[in-house]
Chains A and B, each alone.
Chain A
């Protein structure tokens, strides 16, 4: 009996973990390209979810609503970079942290203005009953979530490994001054990293909306979970983001199921602290130990 409960928690954890992985991916992407920890990452997911839900509720067909939602998130990401990050180009790391913090609060507040406090809802993309695996139940939306993860991470992998642009980005990340002497446009890369990270986050939001009722403040928890997942996996590792997302989702859900949901929030952060102390480079990251 207990085993089947745990399995159910694991399955739920896999689904939510897939979203954590997407948030973490956006986080890692921006960090890798710009060195900035973007506290506002979770809000892109919120924008995707809320936009899709409200457009669909207004009668728009789902694919169009989804597309516009992702675009909306991408636009917000672009604005964040252009209005807040670029002007602060010479700022110290601490200042940049506070700036993204401010952006996080501002975007969430804007969400409150636009949509109010009521939760929205979105229908699952495919109708049908729940899917059973080994006695555990997955909501019908689950395959969409997992498929999105697959597409996004595969796409990122192909981009970075097999395209010229991706290689250029990796060069820029490895050695910015030299890269710029080769004419590699660091600023443009920074801009696009924000846009793509926002789009990925927004897509995650669209896809998770049927499972987690979108609300204006969903970004906070998702963002924080995404950070934990990214640090857990390794801030310099995209595959780490995927692994970290799933590990966090599963551990959180199992612990929350076995203990009580109230502690769920705390579990993630305890994990974060443990990782930061024992293995700051995360599971798959490279240890950058300069004295």
Chain B
């Protein structure tokens, strides 16, 4: 396995401390980006468990991210529920939806599974934009932020919160991956029939992993909703799912720290592109990062199929 570090927990805490310090030193704009990296990393870890370890494909992760966000947002804005609880409920909702969908989607193989998760992701997105209870196309405004007692969270607090939750998420995933559950996952993705002949119910294993990945996305989504204070359906579409896949691929789909690397790279890249491209091509408008993200995804897959973390592990071996 890549990066056989037994110190997931300790490195996570270290990273958290680094972030906490950085959050206090950097201007708020960058602190906000760090928070975003933390949240996206959380989603990507869930995705890596499903894609890298279970060996499946999901092009609909943004939908679970959205369910977490909408769940928490609706509870907070309509029923005055604290975002702390709202995030947990949002994650549970995402888990329930994932569980239900898994009976449909997980019976399919690679190509068709990719299509099914893509389709389901889009259907959920359509629900977001058509259901008035969720604010329809206008989304939900004025989502209350997190608070600890009287202290309302600012950008710095969100950065710390995101990485604190991320540290927990990495620790959990790290434990899981090195347990018999993780071994069974690898066995099933490497030789499904062989694993089944030993009594491993591959579909059930994948279902549990799928639901877990939805929980990761849902938690991140709940925090995201409060962090943004405004959400609308366009934020949770197919393109975001592609970005999550990109983060996964760049970092290395079977690497947990790769998820953080991937998220950081994609977010940083987005910023760089936004700054640089208008200088080079003044007529460029709109969401032009797309082009580069697409090219990078293709290039990564051809040149560095095991991602950055994979490359580092190979260099070490």
Residues of chain A in range 31-47 having any CB-CB distance to chain B below 8 Å: 37
A70 to B285, CA, bound (A): 26
Is A110 interfacial (CB-CB < 8 Å)?
yes
Interface residue SS majority, chain B: helix
With A91-B305, A270-B123 known as contacts, the answer to whether A98 contacts B249 (CB < 8 A) is yes
| Partner-contacting stretch, out of B78-86, B146-154, B204-212, B292-300 | B292-300
Q: Is the CB of A109 within 8 A of B301?
A: no
Q: Is the CB of A109 within 8 A of B289?
A: yes
Q: For B290, give the chain A residue with the smallest CB separation.
A: A109
Chain B residues with Cβ below 8 Å from A97 are: 57, 110-111, 114
Residues of chain A in range 93-107 having any CB-CB distance to chain B below 8 Å: 93-95, 97-99, 101-107
Interface residue SS majority, chain A: helix
Q: Is the CB of B115 within 8 A of A37?
A: yes
With A224-B122, A266-B126 known as contacts, the answer to whether A94 contacts B288 (CB < 8 A) is no
Is A160 interfacial (CB-CB < 8 Å)?
no
Chain B residues with Cβ below 8 Å from A106 are: 290-295, 297-298
Is B49 interfacial (CB-CB < 8 Å)?
no
From B114, B238, B284, B297, contact of A37 by CB (8 A): B114
Is A280 interfacial (CB-CB < 8 Å)?
yes
Q: Is the CB of B249 within 8 A of A117?
A: no
A239 to B103, CA, bound (A): 30
Is B187 interfacial (CB-CB < 8 Å)?
no
From A93, A103, A220, A260, contact of B294 by CB (8 A): A103
Separation in Å of the B298 CB from the closest CB of chain A?
4
A116 to B284, CA, bound (A): 7
Is B281 interfacial (CB-CB < 8 Å)?
yes
A113 to B301, CA, bound (A): 24
Q: Mark A31-71, 1 if CB is under 8 A from B, else 0.
A: 00000010000000000000000000000000000000000
Q: Is the CB of B108 within 8 A of A276?
A: yes
Separation in Å of the A194 CB from the closest CB of chain B?
14
How many CB-defined contacts (below 8 Å) exist between A and B? 139
Is A287 interfacial (CB-CB < 8 Å)?
no
Chain A residues with Cβ below 8 Å from B51 are: 94
Is B127 interfacial (CB-CB < 8 Å)?
yes
A218 to B107, CA, bound (A): 31
Is B239 interfacial (CB-CB < 8 Å)?
yes
Separation in Å of the B133 CB from the closest CB of chain A?
14
From B127, B130, B291, B295, contact of A260 by CB (8 A): B130
Chain A residues with Cβ below 8 Å from B115 are: 37, 227, 231, 272, 276
Q: Is the CB of B249 within 8 A of A220?
A: no
With A101-B242, A105-B239, A265-B122 known as contacts, the answer to whether A87 contacts B294 (CB < 8 A) is no
Q: How many chain A residues have a CB neighbour from B under 8 Å?
A: 43
Q: For A93, give the chain B residue with the smallest CB separation.
A: B110
Residues of chain A in range 182-206 having any CB-CB distance to chain B below 8 Å: none
A102 to B246, CA, bound (A): 9
With A99-B301, A107-B294, A109-B294 known as contacts, the answer to whether A276 contacts B285 (CB < 8 A) is no
Q: For A35, give the chain B residue with the smallest CB separation.
A: B111
Residues of chain B in range 1-57 having any CB-CB distance to chain A below 8 Å: 51, 55, 57
Q: Is the CB of B298 within 8 A of A102?
A: yes
Q: Is the CB of A269 within 8 A of B123?
A: yes
Q: For B127, give the chain A residue with the smallest CB separation.
A: A266
Q: For A31, give the chain B residue with the smallest CB separation.
A: B111
Is A133 interfacial (CB-CB < 8 Å)?
no
Q: Is the CB of B298 within 8 A of A103?
A: yes
Q: Is the CB of B302 within 8 A of A99?
A: yes
Nearest 7 A/B pairs, CB to CB: A109-B291, A106-B294, A102-B297, A105-B294, A109-B290, A266-B126, A269-B119
A-B contact pairs, 28 of them (CB 8 A): A84-B298, A84-B302, A88-B302, A91-B302, A94-B51, A102-B293, A102-B295, A105-B239, A105-B242, A106-B290, A106-B292, A107-B294, A108-B290, A109-B288, A109-B293, A109-B294, A112-B285, A112-B288, A112-B290, A116-B283, A117-B286, A231-B112, A265-B126, A266-B126, A266-B130, A269-B126, A276-B112, A280-B108
